[in-house]
Each structure stands twice: as C-alpha cells, then as structure tokens.
Chain A
Amino acid sequence: EAQVTQNPRYLITVTGKKLTVTCSQNMNHEYMSWYRQDPGLGLRQIYYSMNVEVTDKGDVPEGYKVSRKEKRNFPLILESPSPNQTSLYFCASSLSSGHMGYTFGSGTRLTVV
C-alpha cells in the first residue's frame, strides 16, 4: 500500500531532551516536507526537501533540523525541544512539483513539558 509512515504517533517529552520523528514513504517521491498544525494558526511548513541531500527552510524552521540521506526517509529532529513546539506534526510527500497532490502521514502529536 502506498503510504507515508510517521513514528511515533504520540510522544510526551521534557524540555531539552533531543528527539527525532521519523518519516518514510514507499512511493519513490522526490518531494517531502514537514508541517505543523496548531489551533488558530492552521498548517505551516517547517522544512522541505526536493530530493536527496537537498533541503530548505519553510515558514517556521526555528528549533528544527532535517536530513535527506535517502529518498524514502525524511526525519525531523528537535535538538532541544521547548514547550512552544507542542503541536501536531505531519510529514507529506509528492512526485516532483506536487501539482498532482501530496500524500500525508497520519501525524505525530508531540507534547513538550
């Protein structure tokens, strides 16, 4: 089944403890990106990647890192999480420019205390 898989689905962590949210797609998509969803602010792009070893900042990149060493994986790294990073995170992927639509993962609900 074609899908984007995120792990974990739920995570509670403490301020400052490094964490990684994994994202993997099995559709050979070039384009991958991370979004966060917050009440009243909607969905905002954090980082995106147009292909292996090519990443760039989105609208809200502060406090996050990404890497794209393989085409299928695009992990989101929080080096020192803070409470303002408590949010619902989505990974998405698409072919080339995305004009045929993105496939989203099921989301990761992160709470930083």
Chain B
Amino acid sequence: RKEVEQDPGPFNVPEGATVAFNCTYSNSASQSFFWYRQDCRKEPKLLMSVYSSGNEDGRFTAQLNRASQYISLLIRDSKLSDSATYLCVVKEGNNDMRFGAGTRLTVKP
C-alpha cells in the first residue's frame, strides 16, 4: 500500500464548478498535512496547511479526519487558473514530507 494515495484524475470541470479531491495516508503517526499545487514543469508550491478543525482560504477548504486517515480539498467556483496538479502531502514530525502522486485538474471555459 502506498503511504499517500490520491485519486489521479484527471478532473475536467467547467468554470464555476465545485470540485473535491481526496487523499488517504497509511501512517497513523503522521503529524502535519498540506496541499501543494504544481503547474506543468514547475516546482510544487504550498497551497495550504490542513488542520484538524478544518480550514478555509478563500475558495479553498481543507479537511482532515485523523480517525479515517483521510484528507480532502474542496475548490469552489473554479477558475481557469486553478488548472494544475494538486499534491497531498503528509509529514511525520521531524521527518521528510511524503507526497501523493497528485490529482490533475483542468478547468475549462
């Protein structure tokens, strides 16, 4: 079983749509969680951290369920500029970050 698993997609949605990505992780000792965004042939960029209570940043909402070892990202009112690959990332305290393979999103006019 992979340490971090994501639905690879691709997700093709129209502008204005709401889209949700899911991610599961295998190590129950994981302590911190993030979503990164990666544009084609670019480096990953931090989108948002994920907190146990859930958190929101504008059109983006992240949720964490520690009991189910499940993380989600919701994007509302999708924009063309949201087209990218979204990487789920899990960190075990002082250790390295473990990445999922990414979910590709294309927002179409």
Q: Tell me if chain B binds chain A.
A: no
